[in-house]
Amino acid sequence: MTSFTEENYLKIIYMLTEQNGGNEVSTNELAEHTQTKAASVSDMLRKLAEKNFINYKKYQGVTLTKEGQGIALSVIRKHRLWEVFLVEKLGFGWDEIHDIAEQLEHIDSKELTEKLDKFLGNPKFDPHGDPIPDAKGKMPLVSTTKLSEIAIDQTVVMVGVSVHSPAFLQHLDKNQITLGCTIKIQEISEFDKSFTILLNDTNTVFMSNEVAKNVLVQ
Amino acid sequence: MTSFTEENYLKIIYMLTEQNGGNEVSTNELAEHTQTKAASVSDMLRKLAEKNFINYKKYQGVTLTKEGQGIALSVIRKHRLWEVFLVEKLGFGWDEIHDIAEQLEHIDSKELTEKLDKFLGNPKFDPHGDPIPDAKGKMPLVSTTKLSEIAIDQTVVMVGVSVHSPAFLQHLDKNQITLGCTIKIQEISEFDKSFTILLNDTNTVFMSNEVAKNVLVQ
DNA sequence: ATTAATTTTTAGGTTTGTCTAAAAATTTGA
DNA sequence: TCAAATTTTTAGACAAACCTAAAAATTAAT
């Protein structure tokens, strides 16, 4: 049995490991993302290691074992499927779903997950463009680039975001930047690397470099 | 903030109070239904009384306060709405949904509940025929009778069950007794009060009194 | 290469919700 | 009515997941 809390730790370790390019995740990093103190994290890491969910040597940070990774991927699968449900079926905005999916991701029923997946049409990506692992934990392949790294005059398609805060997503909404829209880069400021882009071949929009860094394109 | 556990106690107190015709619920009764020991229940009752969710005088059993009832009804509302979702949208059988709904009923988001309600077409009854309270906690009016109390030659409509165990529901499935079917009582055995009924004006089926007592009709 | 700063772990406590065993209150029944 | 049986509560413990404070290990810096 894995508790709600253990599942959260494993999910966060998975995500931070990805971000670190496969490197160990540190105690302090985990403390930040779990909203707890380093001492509490230390405690939990000992427990997760005992259960063989993580590889843990004191002071050396952690990585997931195969088993831990399986649990993490199952939680991420559920999170992202529920996000699709909330947006596609219930009409939530992509900026409103994170906290609800954080709860739904812990509902424990394989049959439910698979029926939900089917009901949603076996989606491969969630409303933020994040890939949804399949029942075996296999992630769809994705290679994306930050919009901030695209050269002038190029045309690309918006396929994801690397920040999920409501404020950021609402900012994109306000500028009509949505998943699937086409973006042609018209100008990049010498001074602050801000972008002037043409959206869907129709309207011209200004975008700070800070935003462009968190918009993923193909 | 009400915890998962507190919500469960309040829900169970609500249901047992109904069953008792509005009378106080005893500690032992609660211990049975919460799968814990009387000592643990005593403890929890003290806490729930402190929070003003229940009326509690030592040794006298408990009833819900207005506030406790509100929480109980919100949990029951969510439980029954999710059951509709599981059956109507995901294709679960009515015998498979209880445990999943027990988890989903604790998801905390008013917007989610209201959007789900709308998505489902504001159902008034769940897949077992139980009434779904509205957002304000108001229950649809229902007056049902046990099939076991109906006289011979009468024709009635099946509208609910008073037992939700998978075994009982599967037994009804096997005999094609579903919500909404018409039942004409053809014979009642003198010996064991078992029933011979005509289902939907087409097939004749045998039913023990034990089953008839738990089938609700109108 | 030590000292200083930082990170991580340990030690000792708290809260929630459970337990067992024993005490107290209530109910039953002879 | 008063002793026996039953129900309920109290007392004292425990596990999970957190905390603060202090100790230990690691990393950085002069």
Name the percent of chain B lying above pLDDT 90. 99
Please give the model's pTM, rounded to 2 decimal places.
0.95
- Residue B207 is predicted with a pLDDT of 97
- Residue B1 is predicted with a pLDDT of 82
Please give the Cα distance from A179 to A218 (Å, whole number). Answer: 11
Rounded to whole angstroms, the distance from the CA of residue B31 to the C1' of nucleotide D13 is 20
Q: pLDDT tens digits, residue range B161-200?
A: 999 999 999 999 999 999 999 999 999 999 999 999 999 9
* CB proximity B188–strand C (7 Å threshold): no
The residue behind tokens 């109108």 is B218
Tell me: pLDDT of A1 over 90: no
Question: Do the Cβ atoms of A107 and B103 come within 8 Å?
Answer: yes
Q: Share the mean pLDDT of chain A.
A: 97
Which of these, B173, B179, B176, lies nearest to B159 by C-alpha position? B179
Average of per-residue pLDDT across A104-124: 98
- The vertex-B165 CA angle with B163 and B167, nearest 5°, equals 120
Q: pLDDT tens digits, residue range B38-74?
A: 999 999 999 999 999 999 999 999 999 999 999 999 9
Tell me: pLDDT of A6 over 90: yes
Question: Do the Cβ atoms of B91 and A115 come within 8 Å?
Answer: yes
Q: Give me B48's structure tokens.
A: 């729930």
- B101, B83 Cβ separation under 8 angstroms: yes
Q: List CB contacts (< 8 A) between A109 and chain B.
A: 99-100, 103
Residues 83-122 of A with CB under 7 A from strand C: none
Please give the Cα distance from B132 to B124 (Å, whole number). Answer: 5
Q: pLDDT tens digits, residue range A74-101?
A: 999 999 999 999 999 999 999 999 999 9
Please give the Cα distance from B59 to B122 (Å, whole number). Answer: 41
Which of these, B136, B77, B119, lies nearest to B101 by C-alpha position? B77
Q: pLDDT tens digits, residue range A159-192?
A: 999 999 999 999 999 999 999 999 999 999 999 9
Q: Tell me the three-class secondary structure of A148-196, residue by residue.
A: HHCCCCCEEEEEEECCCCHHHHHHHHHCCCCCCCEEEEEEECCCCCCEE
Strand C: list positions under 7 Å from protein Cβ.
7-12, 16-22, 25-26
pLDDT-based confidence at B115, cuts 50/70/90?
A: very high
Q: Exposure string (b/e) for A9-37, b if CB count within 10 Å is 16 or more?
A: bbbbbbebbeeeeeebbbbebbbebbeee
- For chain B, what's the residue count? 218
* CB proximity A34–strand C (7 Å threshold): no
Of B89, B100, B116, the CB nearest to A119: B89
- Residue B160 is predicted with a pLDDT of 98
- A16, A25 Cβ separation under 8 angstroms: yes
